[in-house]
Structure formats: C-alpha cells, structure tokens
Amino acid sequence: MSADTDSDPDVMGLDHTTVTGWGRTAPTAAWVVRPRTYEEAAAAVRDCGARGGIPRGLGRAYGDAAQNAGGSVLDMTGLDRVHAIDADGGTVLCDAGVSLHRLMEVLLPLGWFVPVTPGTRYVTVGGAIGADIHGKNHHVSGSFARHVLALELLTAGGEIRTVVPGTQLFDATAGGMGLTGVILTATIRLQPVETSLMSVDTERATDLDDLMARLAATDHRYRYSVAWIDLLARGAATGRAVLTRGDHAPLDALPARLRRDPLAFRTPRLPATPAVLPEGLLSRTTVGLFNELWYRKAPRARTGRLQRISGFFHPLDGVPHWNRVYGRGGFVQYQFVVGHGREDALRRIVRRISERRCPSFLAVLKRFGESDPGWLSFPVPGWTLALDIPAGLPGLGAFLDELDEEVAAAGGRVYLAKDARLRPELLAAMYPRLDDFRELRARLDPRGVFVSDLARRLSL
C-alpha cells in the first residue's frame, strides 16, 4: 500500500491510502482502519459509511478481493493474539489477524504444524478462512476451512456470532472473501510433526501426459505434492515439469547433528527486491532461459532429501517484495481447476499458453481431492494450474477471457482470491452455489455493509 496525502492518523489508525493486491494491477483508494480491539472493529463496521467496508489481512490476495474503492478497508493485523494452545489435543485458538508465520513460530517447537499452508506463510488466519486457501496437500487434507472447528464472526448488525461447521453461515464464510462479516477468532485443528524438516522426493516429467500419469499413479503415497511446469516448452516437450513431493520427516530420519534441535523453525531471508526494476525484465527470452536452467538442474530422480519447511513450502518468502520483479505494471495470477475426466481441456489450455509464449516462470500444477463445503470455495476434485503473467503482455485480457470460456465449458472455475478480471456472466456457471451465497448475504447484510471491489465487479 502507498500512502495518500489525505490522512487522519488519530482516528483509530485511519489513513486515506491507495490499496492494491499482491499482483499490483488495480489500485484503488480507501480509508484504511486499523482496529486494535474487538470493540474498535465493531465501531469500524458501524461507521464505515455508504461505500461499506471489507476486512483485510496481509494483502496477499493477488487481485481486488481486499480492496474497496471509496469505502473502508479494515486492516485486521492488529488483532494478532494467540489465546490458547491445546498441546495435547492439537488445537489453537487465535485472533484472525495472526499470520501463519506466527503460528509456525509458536506451534512448531510444540510438535504441531498448521493443517494447510499456501505458497506463502504471510497470510492471516482470517484471510485463510475467507479465501479457504489450499496447499500442496489438498488431495489428502482438503482446504483450510476443513480444519476450523469454530470461529467468531462480527456481522453487519454488530453482533458477534459463534459459527461452526455444518451451518449455512460457516459454508458461506469459508471462501466467502470477507463478505459475510469480520472473522475475529478461530479455533483450528493442527497437524502433528516430529521435526521441522521435510523428506522430499524430486523427479522430472518429460511432458504433460507423463506428469499427469505420475501424479495420478503415486500421489496417494505423499501428503504434499506439487509440480512446476515449463509453460514455454513446445512440441514434444509441452508441459515438461519438475515434480516435488514429500512429507514431514520423522525424527529417526535426521542425522545426529539435527536431532539436537529437531523442531527449530529457521527462515532464511535474502535482500529485498528493489522498489524500481527495469521494465521488461521478465521477457520471453529471460524466462525461457530461466525455465531451461531450472528444468535441467533438477534431478531426474532423487528421494529422501531433507529440506527446511520454509524452503519446501515458501521459497519466495525468502525474497521480500518479490512481486516487484514484474515492474510497475504488476502481474496477473491466473488459477483454474478442471475436474477429473476433463484432462483434454487441461491439455488444450496448456498447449494454448505454450503457443501464446506467455512468459511465466511461476507455474504449478496440483491435484485436488474432495470438494470442500464452502459455497464459494475454489477446489473441486481434479487438476489445478496456477501461473503468473506480466500484466503488460499485449492482448493478455482477451486471451485470458478465452481461457475462462474454456474453463467454464469444461465445468471448471477460477480462483476468486487470485482474480482481478473475470467477467461476471461466467461466475454462476463456475460456482453453482452462487445464488445461495447471494441470498444469505442479502438476509445477513441487507444494507450492504460488507463490500469490496471484487464484490462490485462480480455482483457478489
């Protein structure tokens, strides 16, 4: 976020500020309020004005989900207490503004890990529920909200409601992008671990069919699985990939020197990306060279390598502000899912991206397991591909519109937490429970207190 000249810092941390997503593509100005107590959060909701308000965590939604042009944005990171840990039963009660990074710092020394983590640990618990985030273990563990035992929700009327799984309000809030209310606390079921290291297997796949065959045949052996894809490779190499899978390393897999402190949580950091970088740094040529080197340096097959949790799950977190590498124009993160049996659609889309020569060096393919109950939760059983593309690529908007059509025709959907450009007429086809969500919102929030740029754009 960048500060605007018009501010009043004495009012509950209030600033008139330009707000954008992690992709930096569609900044808008809003009054950012920073509540420090539940009472201040309730006051912020009550006083957010005609343009409404939307809760926001650490700003890692790629698109416009946590923006609200002309209205209020509630920065919830000031509510960041860990209230209680059940070290025997494996649960934690914490504020919604607590980051997954903080939970790892607190929980790993006790032998517990968060049940689901995306590609960054710098997301809040509230954001993890609001986006119903998924990780490399969805085929085993589902998405984040599946592990939430209860949450406290501040509604538009100022009421604090305890919400539990199996209720309509829980299913609307999980994946509801903050539009049902402000999550204040959550109780989360945790994953037991013996060490803070991962045992990792890595192998190369020669093309997309080879990759999908390997995933389908052996994914059940691994808790975590992800594949990096070279989307600039063409011809017989289209979809070639590096497949990385693993699980939490048991204590007896560690050498003696590491057993002295097996649950240490170490997070190395590199220098921050400069605020200003040359435009066009990520061209087809430079990304093509990177992709070639990345694929060639990967082992053809290696098993049992020990790797830090931070390196396995969150390699980019070691480079602060890595999103700046795309330049001032920012980038689009495009993620979609198509179901099992629709592999031909995935092949066509990968081939089209390859032929279009989209310079993407962050492209990953995963398999999803069973659907989650959230009405707007993204995962469905099948294949999900996510890729970053510089926003200034000529003709990108029209090209992605065409991909949206193909995804919708295949019964798939795009991920709202990463979207900044989907056309609203495709939303109902992608999310069959959309009308239920809209109806519940209308009953719960008839004045439209909770609203975002995403909600306006897609008529949520």
Torsion angle of the four alpha carbons 145, 146, 147, 148, in this order, in degrees rounded to the nearest 10? 50
Q: For the segment 337-367, what is each residue's pLDDT rounded down to a tens digit?
A: 999 999 999 999 999 999 999 898 899 999 9
Does 3 have pLDDT greater than 70?
A: no
Q: What is the pLDDT of residue 290?
A: 85
Per-residue confidence band for 11, with pLDDT thresholds at 50, 70 and 90: very low
Q: What is the pLDDT of residue 276?
A: 59
User: H/E/C letters for each residue in 376-388?
Assistant: CCCCCCEEEEEEE
Q: What is the pLDDT of residue 355?
A: 95
Considering Cα of 453, then 457, then 458, then 460, what sign does the dihedral take? positive
For residues 49-63, give the mean pLDDT: 96
Q: What is the pLDDT of residue 274?
A: 72
For residues 223-229, give the mean pLDDT: 97
Q: For the segment 114-134, what is each residue's pLDDT rounded down to a tens digit?
A: 999 999 999 999 999 999 999
Q: For the segment 20-34, what is each residue's pLDDT rounded down to a tens digit?
A: 999 999 999 999 999
Q: What is the pLDDT of residue 285?
A: 86
For residues 56-60, give the mean pLDDT: 97
Does 58 have pLDDT greater than 60?
A: yes
Nearest to 134 by CA among 316, 273, 313: 313
Tokens linked to 312: 């396995």
Per-residue confidence band for 407, with pLDDT thresholds at 50, 70 and 90: very high
Q: What is the pLDDT of residue 361?
A: 84
In this prediction, what percent of the chain has a pLDDT beyond 70?
96
Report which secondary-structure segment, H or E, holds 336: strand 331-339
| pTM for the full predicted model | 0.94
What is the C-alpha to C-alpha distance for residues 254 and 112, in angstroms, rounded to an integer?
A: 18
Q: What is the pLDDT of residue 280?
A: 61
Tokens linked to 181: 């209310």
Q: How would you classify the pairing of strands 363-368 and 382-390?
A: antiparallel
Report which secondary-structure segment, H or E, holds 92: strand 91-95
Q: What is the pLDDT of residue 9?
A: 36
Per-residue confidence band for 6, with pLDDT thresholds at 50, 70 and 90: very low
What is the C-alpha to C-alpha distance for residues 417 and 458, in angstroms, rounded to an integer?
A: 13
- Angle between helix axes 396-409 and 343-356 (nearest 10 degrees) is 170
What is the C-alpha to C-alpha distance for residues 193 and 112, in angstroms, rounded to an integer?
A: 5
For residues 233-254, give the mean pLDDT: 97
Report which secondary-structure segment, H or E, holds 396: helix 396-409
Per-residue confidence band for 286, with pLDDT thresholds at 50, 70 and 90: confident
Tell me if 49 sits within 8 A of 72, measured CB to CB: yes
Tell me if 6 sits within 8 A of 47, measured CB to CB: no
58-62, 291-295, 393-397: least confident range: 291-295
Q: What is the pLDDT of residue 5?
A: 31
What is the C-alpha to C-alpha distance for residues 450 and 145, in angstroms, rounded to an integer?
A: 21
Q: What is the pLDDT of residue 287?
A: 86
Q: How would you classify the pairing of strands 241-248 and 363-368?
A: unpaired
Count of positions (residues) in the chain = 460
What is the C-alpha to C-alpha distance for residues 417 and 12, in angstroms, rounded to an integer?
A: 28
Three-class secondary structure of residue 153 per DSSP: strand
Q: How would you classify the pairing of strands 28-33 and 53-56?
A: unpaired
Three-class secondary structure of residue 304 per DSSP: strand
Tell me if 313 sits within 8 A of 226, measured CB to CB: no
Q: What is the pLDDT of residue 376?
A: 98
Tokens linked to 288: 């093509």
Does 386 have pLDDT greater than 60?
A: yes
Q: What is the pLDDT of residue 28?
A: 97
Q: For the segment 290-305, what is each residue's pLDDT rounded down to a tens digit?
A: 888 988 999 999 999 9
Q: For the segment 244-262, what is each residue's pLDDT rounded down to a tens digit?
A: 999 999 999 999 999 999 9
Tokens linked to 460: 């949520």
Distance of CA 70 to CAs 51, 54, 406, Å?
Answer: 6, 12, 34
271-280, 318-327, 384-393: least confident range: 271-280
Does 460 have pLDDT greater than 90?
A: yes
Residues 6+ apart with CB under 8 A from 322: 273, 316
Q: What is the mean pLDDT of the chain?
A: 94
Three-class secondary structure of residue 233 per DSSP: coil
In this prediction, what percent of the chain has a pLDDT beyond 90?
87
Per-residue confidence band for 10, with pLDDT thresholds at 50, 70 and 90: very low
Q: For the segment 301-320, what is each residue's pLDDT rounded down to a tens digit?
A: 999 999 999 999 999 999 88
Could you tell me how far CA 198 lies from the centroid of its own chain?
A: 21
Q: What is the pLDDT of residue 279?
A: 59
